[in-house]
Structure 1
C-alpha cells in the first residue's frame, strides 16, 4: 500500500485554489437545493431522470448538467488558463498546470430519491495529484475543504471552520467500513463476493451512496475505512486531499481514472490503514474488478 502525499508545488497557491473551490461549490449547492425543490414540489419526493449514462440505473438529471455548467463557468471566469475534467462531459486542457476535477452531483441516485447524502465535489489537481478541494453535502449543509500543507476543515451549517481529525482505531475487527457498488451487474456480483469475505472480519459495513462523502467521513472519523472499485477521478479528487490533509492514508486509481479497469480506491484512519489493507487483501478486495 502506497499512501504518500505530494509536496506543495512552488508555483501553486493551494489556499487560493481551496478558497475558490469552497466558494463555487457552495454556490452550486445552493443552485441544486433550489432546483430540486422546484422539481420535487411540495412533497419533496423522488424525481424522474432526464436520461441515463452507462446503464438504466445510472441517472443523469438536468440538475447535474446545470450544476456542472455553473461550476465550470465560475472556475474558468476566475482562472481562464486552467483545465477541466467533469463527470457530465466538461473537458479542457490546462495551460496553467492546474486541472479542476468536478462532480456536479455525487450521489445522483440519493438526489433523485431524496436521501440526504449527495454532494458537490471540486478538486484542483497538479501533476496528477490533488492539491486543494471542497466537498459540500448539499442536503445537510456540511462543507469539507482542504489545501495541501494547510490541513482539512469542516463547516456544519453556519458554524466556523473546525479542523478535521480521524479516529485512532487500530483493529480491523473493530472498524466501521464504508463501500459502494458499481452500476454494472457483473461488477456488482464480484464486489458482493468481496464483501461476503470481508464482512466477518470487520465491525460492520455502511453503504452511503456518495463516494466523495464516504472519503470525507473517513477524514472526520465517521467511518474508519472506505474502499470501492471503479470509481472515477471526479468521485475522489477533492476527497483525496481532504482525507490526506486530515492525516489519513489514501490509495487512488489516478486523477484521470474512468473506472473501467476497476482499480481500488482506499482510504483509512492512519492507525488502522496497514492492517485494514492486509485484511482487504486477504478478502481479494485489493484486486481490480473490471466492468
Structure 2
C-alpha cells in the first residue's frame, strides 16, 4: 500500500492525532509558564517574609511589658490553683504526708500509710461504719519518688473525705480508688491524681456532708458528684464523689528532679 492510499484510508484519524498533539503542546507550554511564574512569585514572597522577620525589632519597653503581663498571669494562675487544688508537698497542711528531709520516700510511704490505715479503720469501726479498708492504696507499694508523691496526694484527699463522711454519720464508704497510672493529655498542664469513692449515708445527712466537702479548707479538689435515689427500705442515699489532686507546676518540677 502506497502513502496516498494510506492517507486516504486514515486521513481523519491522522488529522485528529495531529490536532490533539498540537493542543497538548500548546497547553503544556501555557501551564508551564503560568505555574512557573506562580512558583517563582511564592518563592520571592517567602524570601521577603523571612528577611523581614529576621530584621524585625521589638522595642525593649514592649518586651518588658510582655514579661510583666506574663508574670501577672502566672501569679493569678497560682492563686486560682491554690483555691481549688488540695495541698501538696511544701504546704504545711500536707506535712504529715510528705517524707521528712533526707528520709527515704519508700520507707516513709510504707510506715505512714500503715499507721494512717490503722487509724482510719479503727475510727470507722468505732463509729460502726463499713469502710473499704484498701483506702484506695495500690496493692503493690510504689517505689519511685514521683509515683509515691502522686499516690500520697490522692491519699490526702481520701483521708479527709473518710473523716468527713464518718463525722456526718455515713453507714458505708466503698469503692475507694486512687488512680496511680499517669494519664497526661497533651493539653494538660498539671500532673493530676484522680480519686473516686462512694459514700452511703442517711438522707438527712446528705446536704450537710456535701456542703462540708464543697466548702472545705484547704480545698479537696472536688470536681463532681452524683447522688443516687434514696433506698426505698432504709432511706439511705449513695453519693459517688470524684476529686483531682495535683501539685503546683513549680512543686511538680522539684518532685521530678528528686
TM-score class normalised by the smaller sequence? under 0.3
Task: Select the structure of larger CA radius of gyration.
Answer: 2
TM-score by length of 2: 0.22
TM-score by length of 1: 0.20
Relative to its length, the structure with more strand (as a share) is: 1
